Structure 1
Amino acid sequence: MQTLEALTRDARALANGEIVLSAPETEVARQMQICNACRYCEGFCAVFPAMTRRLEFGKADIHFLANLCHNCGACLHACQYAPPHEFAVNVPQAMAQVRGQTYADYAWPPALGRLYQRQGLTLSLALAAGLALFLVLGAVLQGGLDALWGANLGGNFYHLFPHNLLVGLFAPVFLFVVLALGLGVRRFWRDVTPATSGAPLSAPATAEATDAVLRLKYLDGGHGDGCHNEDDAYTLSRRRFHHLTFYGFLLCFAATSLATVYHYAFGWAAPYDLPSVPKLLGAVGGVMLMLGTAGLWHLNRTRHALHGDAQQKPMDLGFIALLFLVSSSGLALWLARGTPALALLLCLHLGAVMALFATLPYGKFAHGVFRTASLLRHAVEKRQPNPIGLSAD
């Protein structure tokens, strides 16, 4: 809900040149005005009920709606004003362009966000390769070329890189990711809160948003049959592959977190074997992550050209590639633990993990954080009186 005072303030700021909409933001505002007059897609997802609570669309409203959009494509295929109509309404593509802009606008530091947005796939793979090479050189300097193949590590990678050394390498990267993401979402939350009623979070709103996040509710097309990918056919494949990727990542993270507890609280040093809980979580999560990212890669490559922003494909594919590389190299490392390839696989896996964490605040991982924030604000806003007196349900 945007109050009349906020609308007046934004209108005055626009008139004074204090708020300047970018070309993608202007296009979203134009399309939302058309959609607000039509409302055929009101039941498809959270975007359209939120849209009906607004007569005008300021910068904060546009950022909020863009990150609320799940890019399912249902509204495009249902729209009578979609291209080649002269109105050229394409909400998924317009929202995707603004969403990509917000990743860079809210990134910290901003320069890294812009770099990853332009060269996501190349940067991701180059960073993983560079870090892996750095670790290879470190191993060679420590134990010579024999350390890379056939080294007598006894199946324990800590014999190559001690535990404290790995902590010293990864702890700063992890803390940087938390800081960068925290600063970015804090700015986003601060900007969109006044435009979404300004009311504080409540337990019911938090529960509703959590349910929407965990179930990926808005990837069902609004009717439960799924959204679209390469054609007009409904499919739940995007939802299923997103679930595999999301929960696979969470299981892998849980495995690492539990292993940390084992190490520091109980003195149980890695590596762990089945049926230990960290190994079970990591193995199941790794397989799920591989399947999910392989499916998302295929869907991304076959997606209808009008569904998204083509300029974001390198960023999307870079994130998918790193997730797949992390999961596949982790499983290979486990399966080859007693072979001469252990050291090389360890360097590859650690390089991929470090590259993934270093790029998390600047790509598709950030969209999950911003989308969660938008779903929270939507759940809060819909519980407030509608300021323009129109139904939003």
Structure 2
Amino acid sequence: MSTETLQNARRQIEICNACRYCEGYCSVFPAITRQTAFADGDITQLANLCHNCRGCYYACQYTEPHEFAINLPQILAEVRTDSWKEFAWPKGFARAYDRHGVAIAGLLILCVMTLIFLAGSLQNGGSGAGFYAYMSHVVMVAIFAPAFLLPLFTAGISIRRYWTHVGDGRIALKDLRKALQDVATMRDLSGGQEQGCNFEDEDRFTNARRVAHQLVLWGFLLCFAATSSGTLLHYVFDLHAPYGFFSLPKFLGVPGGLMLSAGTAWMIRLKLSADGALADARVRGGDMAFVVLLFAVSTSGLLLYAATGTALIPLLLTFHLATVLTLFLTLPYSKFVHGFYRLAAMIKNAKAAK
């Protein structure tokens, strides 16, 4: 990580620690007040604890043109993204994705679509019903299982590096429970008094970003639960797709897809209207690519279900599978990984707040 960036972050954090005007805004400021000196690991921890709600910036009396030039959301965003790249394994692709995220994601989708199309052509389609009439279950598992497990493995290495850097040990169950509760409610996007944050409209508090994040989080978890339930039905109960509307995969997947599509579309709009000077401009491409890719995954999945029985299925299936595969292949290098880092930061914060 850049020494200059860390020094600037340390300077601003020390000023905030002396001022303490923003103590009630989010978890970052109580965490700052628990110490008087800040090592590099402490700054990295605070940066990953920050949700970039921006309320502190608009409340601060020391922003430019004041000589202190405080811009805590921006500097913590820079430290945060630097930490993701520093701990990523391997590192090279992570930095390229930041600069050209949308282009890389688009190219990966095209390449994966070609791969899936060729795989389906070589086997002359599958022998089952529904999706499996175009690609067999065996081929899907052979392609997607490694693409899902390997990125999780590399992300695990990254989080372990982070956990070692911030200097913490074992995870207590009660700390994990507290962190998960805060994640579920997006407490740190509430502005401290439940009025919301200032992400999209300067000094006006709104809960728009909090609600959008909750739609994305719970929509993604429902979609993941739908896929998991389908796997259990297939392997444990010998019940194979396609499943009817009143089945568990559809009962979970359709609402999850709708929530994920709505949440990502909302977040795209918020990101386009937000002040770029309060974020890390270096990673704008990768940041936007992640949200657009999530939107493509959820929307193509819904379209695929709506097109059941039509001639559009082969094309939509290929595109949907390509977007899902691209999402997981880029997991350790895209903003997808921020969820793991943020959860780790919140666990450490819960432990330190005792």
Fold conserved between structures, TM > 0.5: yes
Larger Rg: 1
Deviations 1:57-100 (A, max 9, x none): 21101110000001000000000001221111011000001111
Name the CA distance, whole Å, in 1 between partners of 2:194 and 2:156.
Answer: 34
Name the CA distance, whole Å, in 2 between partners of 1:141 and 1:201.
Answer: 48
Name the CA distance, whole Å, in 1 between partners of 2:115 and 2:269.
Answer: 31
* Structural mapping, 1:119-268, within 5 Å: 119-143=100-124, 156-194=130-168, 200-228=170-198, 229-268=200-239
4+ long deviations beyond 3 Å: 137-143, 152-155, 200-204
Is 2:47 the counterpart of 1:66? Answer: yes
Name the CA distance, whole Å, in 1 between partners of 2:278 and 2:95.
Answer: 22
Q: TM-score, normalised by structure 2?
A: 0.96
Deviations 1:160-188 (A, max 9, x none): 11001100001111110220111111111
Name the counterpart of 2:280.
Answer: 309
Is 2:10 the counterpart of 1:29? Answer: yes
Is 2:76 the counterpart of 1:95? Answer: yes
* Structural mapping, 1:285-296, within 5 Å: 285-296=256-267
3-state DSSP of counterpart to 1:266: coil
Name the counterpart of 1:40.
Answer: 21
3-state DSSP of counterpart to 1:332: helix
Deviation at residue 21 of structure 1 after TM alignment: 5.2
Deviation at residue 274 of structure 1 after TM alignment: 0.7
Q: Which of these residues, 101, 104, 107, is aligned with residue 88 of structure 2?
A: 107
Structure 1: runs of 5 or more not aligned = 1-19, 384-393
Is 2:283 the counterpart of 1:283? Answer: no
Amino acid at match of 1:164: V
Name the CA distance, whole Å, in 1 between partners of 2:337 and 2:72.
Answer: 21
Name the CA distance, whole Å, in 1 between partners of 2:52 and 2:326.
Answer: 27
Amino acid at match of 1:204: K
Amino acid at match of 1:202: A
Name the counterpart of 1:366.
Answer: 337
Task: Evaluate the alpha carbon distance shift between residue 356 and residue 86 of structure 1 in structure 2; reply closer, same or farther with a 3 A threshold.
Answer: same
Amino acid at match of 2:187: K
3-state DSSP of counterpart to 1:102: helix
3-state DSSP of counterpart to 2:83: helix
Deviation at residue 337 of structure 1 after TM alignment: 1.5
Greater CA drift, 252-261 or 358-367: 358-367
Q: Which of these residues, 30, 34, 40, is aligned with residue 49 of structure 1?
A: 30
Deviations 1:21-75 (A, max 9, x none): 5222111101011111111011111111111122222110111000000100000
3-state DSSP of counterpart to 2:332: helix
Deviation at residue 203 of structure 1 after TM alignment: 3.7
Deviation at residue 231 of structure 1 after TM alignment: 2.3
Is 2:298 the counterpart of 1:324? Answer: no
Name the CA distance, whole Å, in 2 between partners of 1:368 and 1:52.
Answer: 25
Deviations 1:195-222 (A, max 9, x none): xxx5x43343232212111111000111
Name the counterpart of 1:17.
Answer: none
Q: TM-score, normalised by structure 1?
A: 0.86
Deviation at residue 350 of structure 1 after TM alignment: 0.5
Name the CA distance, whole Å, in 2 between partners of 1:108 and 1:218.
Answer: 29
Deviation at residue 104 of structure 1 after TM alignment: 0.7
Name the CA distance, whole Å, in 1 between partners of 2:230 and 2:223.
Answer: 11
CA contact (8 A) 2:99 2:286 kept: yes
Name the counterpart of 1:298.
Answer: 269
Name the CA distance, whole Å, in 2 between partners of 1:255 and 1:21.
Answer: 42
CA contact (8 A) 2:99 2:282 kept: yes
| Aligned residue pair count | 353
CA contact (8 A) 1:74 1:227 kept: yes
CA contact (8 A) 1:155 1:337 kept: no
CA contact (8 A) 1:155 1:342 kept: no
Amino acid at match of 1:78: A
Amino acid at match of 1:90: N
3-state DSSP of counterpart to 1:54: coil
Name the CA distance, whole Å, in 2 between partners of 1:190 and 1:251.
Answer: 32
Query: Which structure is higher in RCO with an 8 Å CA cutoff and minimum separation 6?
Result: 1
Deviations 1:126-185 (A, max 9, x none): 211221122223334554xxx8xxxx9996111211001100001111110220111111
